[in-house]
Amino acid sequence: MENKEVDILIVGAGIIGTSIGAELARRGAKVCVIDKGSVGMGCSYGNAGWMTPCFAMPLPMPGMLLKSMKWLLDPESPLYIKPSLSLDLASWLYQFMKAMNAHQARRAVDALVVLSQKSLTEYEKLGQKYPEIHFQQKGLLMVSKTASGVAAAVDELNYVKDLGVPGKVLTSEDIQQMEPALKSPLLGGVYFSKESMAEPLRVVQALSKEITSHGGEIIENCELKEIIINGNKVEKVLTSQGEIRAQTVVMATGSWSKSLAQQMRLRVPILGGKGYAMIVPPLAQQPQYPMMLVEKKIAITPRENSLRIAGTLELVDQDFSITQKRVENIKKGAREFLHLPADLQVQELWAGLRPCTPDGVPLIGFHKNISNLMLAVGHQMLGLQSGTGTGILVADLIEGKTPFVDMNVLDANRF
């Protein structure tokens, strides 16, 4: 690569970086997106593919304190925080506990639903233009075998129903009729009718096509090494392939953001929320709906010729190792709800790190001291569902337009 000069440089070609790149390229900016690997091969590769505004809950919801204490002690729980003496973890957990209050949760959910709904409208359009992303609006089932699980699903509905996310409470019989692939007995659940899904990698690839077809450029295997700051501006960035100068630099580096931000004297307390997804052959009784198995926190996504089973959240710092015991727990949990064969074959097993901020809300906006540096990181469990909305939001902020969502909640400088 020769040294370059562009309007906007975006670092990271996951769902967030490509959403921002596509939106800005459509608006006529000269955009360059770089990635240290290949497009969409970070956390955006193998997620559950859900575009579900109903799941706008940040991780530190009120009432989580006791649960998180229990997880600390239970490596088999669907959410696990490995005890460690790391200062980063201690400070992250302190901020996490602080964020567990009703006021903060309400503001977070309001903002994340707006961002997710905006994104959903964009994905509908993307699905029409790129049928290969397999955008489908089938709705989403939350199903449970326990009273506390049903109560959690109903709570979720109550939290979002006034924000224009329709859903209805279902009895065990309703669910069995809708989704015969589920084992009985079930106790109940909720059906959210507008929720959607697509193939996550193909979505990133479609957005990449949008970038290049609007004159933008994507450079793979190009790692950001250093940001050179002059006064209160980024002067240029040094990459593994050469120098790039840009009017605005956007960081969309997901779970890698903490150490990169340290270079810029910015506190970005992002840890990885490790999750696993496995692709298995279609079941004899293949589910028709995407489903959340509430008490197991397992996501089931029916695909054309297979099924994706995803779950667990294990707080780590750049650790991509696979813990077989946790994978077995996901299978065991799924087996309680679905007729999985005894010799279940896993065609693909993948681990990804969700970029998790302690308050469960992304960091979006300009750096307070570096006027041409924008952050768009920390989309935790909902990077896909809020991706294209983030693209529009970042493009609006760069163009000086009024943002469509409460920026106090998303403030990039809040930590």
Ligand X SMILES: Cc1cc2nc3c(=O)[nH]c(=O)nc-3n(C[C@H](O)[C@H](O)[C@H](O)COP(=O)(O)OP(=O)(O)OC[C@H]3O[C@@H](n4cnc5c(N)ncnc54)[C@H](O)[C@@H]3O)c2cc1C
Residues contributing to the site for ligand X (CB under 6 A): 11-17, 34-37, 41-44, 47-50, 223-224, 252-256, 260, 275-277, 310, 352, 354-355, 379-385
The dihedral sign for the CA sequence 342, 346, 349, 354: negative
| Closest distance to ligand X from the beta carbon of 360 (Å) | 11
State both tokens at 190: 């909720």
- Do 158 and 200 touch, CB atoms closer than 8 A? no
What CA–CA distances, in Å, run from 285 to 139, 282, 288, 298?
Answer: 19, 8, 9, 18
| Closest distance to ligand X from the beta carbon of 171 (Å) | 26
| Closest distance to ligand X from the beta carbon of 296 (Å) | 13
End-to-end CA distance of the chain: give it in Å, rounded.
36
| Closest distance to ligand X from the beta carbon of 217 (Å) | 14
Nearer to ligand X, 187 or 296 (CB): 296
| Closest distance to ligand X from the beta carbon of 238 (Å) | 11
DSSP category for residue 382: G
Nearer to ligand X, 249 or 409 (CB): 249
DSSP β-bridge partners for residue 239:
224, 242
Nearer to ligand X, 216 or 352 (CB): 352
What CA–CA distances, in Å, run from 333 to 46, 224, 292, 321, 336?
Answer: 20, 40, 11, 21, 5
Residues whose CB falls within 8 Å of the CB of residue 33, separated by 6 or more in sequence, listed in order? 9, 10, 11, 12, 13, 17, 18, 21, 208, 211, 216, 217, 218, 219
Residue whose entry in the numeric block shows the structure tokens 């659940």: 189
Residue whose entry in the numeric block shows the structure tokens 């509905």: 157
| Closest distance to ligand X from the beta carbon of 64 (Å) | 19
| Closest distance to ligand X from the beta carbon of 197 (Å) | 8
Nearer to ligand X, 194 or 354 (CB): 354
**Amino acid making up residue 325:** K
| Closest distance to ligand X from the beta carbon of 312 (Å) | 8
Residues whose CB falls within 8 Å of the CB of residue 395, separated by 6 or more in sequence, listed in order? 20, 23, 24, 27
Nearer to ligand X, 41 or 163 (CB): 41
Nearer to ligand X, 59 or 150 (CB): 59
Nearer to ligand X, 20 or 182 (CB): 20
Nearer to ligand X, 105 or 382 (CB): 382
Nearer to ligand X, 15 or 249 (CB): 15
Q: How far apart are CA 237 and CA 65, in angstroms?
A: 41
Contacts from 94-99 at CB under 8 Å and sequence distance 24+? 94/358, 95/269, 95/358, 95/359, 95/415, 96/59, 96/60, 96/68, 96/358, 96/359, 97/60, 97/65, 98/358, 98/359, 99/58, 99/60, 99/358, 99/359, 99/360
| Closest distance to ligand X from the beta carbon of 13 (Å) | 5
Q: How far apart are CA 122 and CA 117, in angstroms?
A: 9
